[in-house]
């Protein structure tokens, strides 16, 4: 079953008197449980494509279907609900809330999910479980500035997974990490992909990610070339 389908997706940006064609007619189908790398040189359009899949950016043309529904027709409120309940994000710069502890950062998306009707104990238990899974048992009460880059990335992974999303999008997840830490992070995400059946999609320059991927999408000049 395809969880994501892109059909002739385009994205244009006005730049002065000209138009930049960032994504040009891309077709793509991603199945449940896939571990996909979107690769290409800087400026190729891979991050734009990831943002379109994540409903952070709007396609200029074409169809973007998630679980069979074309999300290009969704209202802003419906897109917000989709991002909150269906899609987890792992950002290159982590985007943790500096005044919150590690545990509070992971709990935060669950607090926004009013419809889930989770008790404070259920929220706490789910966040603790994920932080234990990513090896942060002893850092739960620390704030982001007290953590290493690898630890902050693990917090970001736990936060992305805490809502039990069907899809996790990761933009250059190893870019700010040394090679050893990056390898551990990738191993962890692959394990979670297998255990939780979560679909992972990466935008990356990192050739090491290709070792873990079961599919590679190459983008050049806004076009899919494989």
Residue 216: pLDDT above 80? yes
pLDDT value at position 43? 87
* Tokens (6 digits) for 110: 């669950």
pLDDT value at position 71? 96
- Measure the CA–CA gap between 158 and 88, rounded to whole angstroms: 10
Give yes or no for a contact between 172 and 194, defined as CB atoms under 8 angstroms apart: no
* Distance, CA of 122 to chain centre: 24
What kind of architecture, by CATH, is found in domain 2-224? 3-Layer(aba) Sandwich (3.40)
3-state percent helix, strand, coil for the chain, nearest multiple of 5: 40, 30, 30
Residue 60: pLDDT above 90? yes
Residue 208: pLDDT above 80? no
* pLDDT single digits (tens) 34-50: 999 999 888 899 989 99
**What is the rounded (10 degree) CA torsion for 14, 20, 22, 23?**
90
Which pTM does this prediction carry?
A: 0.88
* Tokens (6 digits) for 179: 């090679």
Q: Report the share of the chain in percent with pLDDT over 70.
A: 100
* pLDDT single digits (tens) 155-165: 998 999 899 89
* pLDDT single digits (tens) 181-204: 778 878 888 888 888 888 999 988
Q: Which of 137-141, 194-198, 220-224 has the lowest mean pLDDT?
A: 194-198
Cα angle for residues 97, 99, 101 (degrees, 5° grid): 80
- Domain boundaries defined on the chain: 2-224
* pLDDT single digits (tens) 1-23: 899 999 999 999 998 899 999 99
């Amino acid at each position: 079953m395809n969880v994501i389908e892109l059909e002739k997706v385009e994205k244009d940006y006005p730049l002065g008197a000209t138009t930049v064609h960032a994504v040009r007619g891309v077709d793509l189908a991603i199945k449940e449980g896939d571990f996909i790398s979107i690769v290409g040189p800087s400026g190729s359009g891979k991050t734009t494509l990831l943002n379109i899949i994540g409903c952070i950016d709007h396609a200029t043309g074409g169809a973007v279907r998630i679980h069979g529904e074309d999300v290009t027709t969704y209202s802003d409120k419906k897109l917000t609900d989709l991002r909150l309940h269906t899609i987890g994000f792992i950002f290159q710069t982590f985007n943790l809330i500096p005044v919150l502890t590690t545990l509070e950062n992971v709990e935060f998306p669950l607090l926004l999910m009013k419809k889930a009707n989770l008790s404070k104990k259920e929220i706490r238990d789910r966040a603790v479980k994920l932080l234990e899974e990513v090896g942060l048992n002893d850092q739960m009460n620390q704030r982001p500035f007290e953590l290493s880059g690898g630890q902050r990335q693990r917090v970001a992974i736990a936060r992305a997974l805490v809502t039990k999303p069907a899809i996790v999008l990761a933009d250059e997840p190893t870019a700010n990490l040394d090679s050893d830490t990056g390898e551990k992070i990738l191993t962890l995400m692959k394990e979670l992909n297998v255990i939780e059946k979560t679909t992972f999609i990466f935008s990356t320059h990192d050739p090491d990610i290709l070792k873990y991927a079961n599919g590679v999408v190459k983008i050049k000049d806004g076009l899919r070339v494989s």
